[in-house]
């Protein structure tokens, strides 16, 4: 797969939902799905980078797949609430640049 834009991703997810997936789950169901998927990412992270260990049945779980699940559900929520993720991330990055342009550089906790 080649790189795709956020707009293309939103279209691809919408097409899949309306053909294979039949319809979108409700917004609240998708929120619960998002939390569940983030929990799966947390499980992998705590076992890969933290002190937890994997159970035998968990050893095949891949971080990339779980992150893709999080992104998929996030795109579903954006689609069904009418949010253009490209515009949203551009606006969000502009806010971060205004607010944080010196904040992290001056944070003594981030000095190596």
In a domain? residue 51: yes
Total domain count, the chain: 1
In a domain? residue 70: yes
Note the pLDDT tens digit of each residue in 85-107: 999 999 999 999 898 878 888 88
Cα distance between residue 44 and residue 30, in whole Å: 21
Domain of residue 37, residue span = 6-83
Note the pLDDT tens digit of each residue in 30-40: 999 999 999 99
In a domain? residue 1: no
Domain with residue 40: its CATH number is 1.10.287.1080
In a domain? residue 88: no
In a domain? residue 20: yes
């Amino acid at each position: 797969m080649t790189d795709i834009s956020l707009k293309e991703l939103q279209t691809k997810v919408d097409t899949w939902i309306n053909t294979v997936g039949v319809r979108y789950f409700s917004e609240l169901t998708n929120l619960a799905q998002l939390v569940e998927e983030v929990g799966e990412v947390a499980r992998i992270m705590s076992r890969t980078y933290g002190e937890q260990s994997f159970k035998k049945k968990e050893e095949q779980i891949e971080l990339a797949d779980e992150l893709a699940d999080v992104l998929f559900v996030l795109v579903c929520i954006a689609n069904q609430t009418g949010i253009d993720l490209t515009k949203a991330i551009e606006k969000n990055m502009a806010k971060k640049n205004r607010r944080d342009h010196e904040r992290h550089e001056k944070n003594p906790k981030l000095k190596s």
